[in-house]
Chains A and B, each alone.
Chain A
Amino acid sequence: MPEKPRQLETAHGIIRFPAYIPVTTFGSKYPLDALIQPYLPRLSQAVMVSHHYAKLMKQRPRLPLLIDSGGFATLFDGSEVFEHRGLGHLRVCLGNEVEVLTPLDVLEFQEEHADVAFTLDFPIPPKLPIAEAKRRQALTIANAVWAIQNRRRRDLRLFACIQAWSVESASLCAAELARHPFDGFAIGGLVPRARDVDLVLAIVAAVREKIDDRPLHVFGLGKPETTARLFNAGVDSVDSSSYVKLAADGCLWENTNFRLQDPSPADRLRLAIQNLATATRTALPLATQAF
């Protein structure tokens, strides 16, 4: 009997695995994102937005919407992770404004808007002192457990975030979280370790071993050659904003020698479409490929 295709059913559609999920933003900071958003349904199965930008969303994309917790802001200058009643909270400095992100804020927003939600996690960069790394991991696990216990919407797919500093710590974190009925798991903090592909793959393998057959997502690793290896290693989905970042610089994924001088908004749009098509392995009409 053929193996059943791996997929995730959500309130706004099915995500078939393996899946490349493009990241987008709302608001005026990244105008290229606004240009490409209407085209995402033609190129992608779902879209990922961080909690920070999702709050600026005026119109919901016509796709399954994945909302990240925005915990990456831990890495911003002046940000602080602190414990409050056993859970991890994040104080973020945005210019003159200070914002506090709590597991409750994140989950409430996700309950309202998301098809797939990710628990509030705190990235562990490579050179972080081990004590702080352990503290962040513990709070990440506590937040995830709290979220699964407090989920109200039955069709909200909740993914537990895994943060670690080594293969062993990733394995332990996954094992701890796997005891709970999460719909899937997501590994964060791998972007600064992306050059050490062997380490990344080892972490993926360790997590996969602990979470049985449930979906596994990896945050932020979207280079096509990397995603292919991740999918082979058992990752079901990845997300990345590289397709627009490259396009904004006039670059193409499929041709590293190509760089368009002074790209216009329409040039960037075409480049982003081509980059995303490369990542999602979507066939574009030939006329759409201008470069």
Chain B
Amino acid sequence: MFRRLLSRALTLTAVLITVLTLLTVVLGATGYSDRIIQSLIGEQLRSMRESLAQRIRDPEELERALSGLKSEMERAYGLDRPWYTRIPETVLRVLTLDLGDSRTARSTTGSTKVIDVLSERIPNTVVLVTTAMLISSLLGLYIGATLSKRVGTRLERSVTYLSAVSNSLPSWWTGILLLIVFAYQLRLFPGSGMFSSPPPEGALERAIDVLWHSVLPVTTLVLISIGPSIYASRTLLLNVAQEDFVSVARSKGLPERVVSLRYVLRPASPPIVTGLALSLPASLGGAILTETVFNWPGMGRLYYNAVIMGDEVLIVALTYLFTLMYVVARFILEVLYHLLDPRVRV
């Protein structure tokens, strides 16, 4: 078991490093990283000029000192070498979450450090995505299981059809429809953000406020992910239900509850977990679009803003973090899979 988990961990680490290398190579080859570093040096020089100007009176000498500092910093940042020699250090830097400063985004405390901004935004996204995924996978499992016992009925066929078709709902469009109907026509739910402004006093009121704001985005994410979930559960349970050992269990006279829980659901659970793992990237991607539509202050919304404003540092950091989150979630599901499936355990 541990060897397999280890090999998965290695693969996922390789994913992380590949993505990072890809990011840095693309940034380097298109000249973006040079520009980032240059603006960084420029900013530091500006602040140094002020402190230096108080000590050095002669303007020519000041310029000489500054240009000396500039070339020193360029060497320190590796700007004097071609971009591809800097790849390993950049990868290492980002890998250790040394993410730099954002040009456009600020945390509530006013910090421009990407790591500060992100630590505020990540929980918002995690709450949104995990809630939606939990709801849609549990609901999907329940509906799928119910359907798998009614194969061939009109209900089963139409729900299966709808769930296959719901795969083609674009998340953002679904969100826009919900906004038009529930936020602007019926005025039942707020149209954007996470809190009312001003946010209400008291912890309980605040929690209710957040819940109220999250209804539409969570519904959107559930709507787009429940179809595949229903479809997969129904198909997998159907496959297991046709196995001989299930017929044997039934003919032994075991109660239907025991049969469906222990003889059908149990063996079908590992592939269902795999399905969950495979739907992760779609959910994370869906979060980018859904947060944009609902102005939800998570990573996705931040990513959209970073793209619109051309904030390279933030884009790199967020792309990396999306991958990291995905890889971590993937690994947790992998462990879960090993716990569920005795065949891989031995």
Is A bound to B? no
Chain B residues at the A interface, C-beta cutoff of 8 Å: none
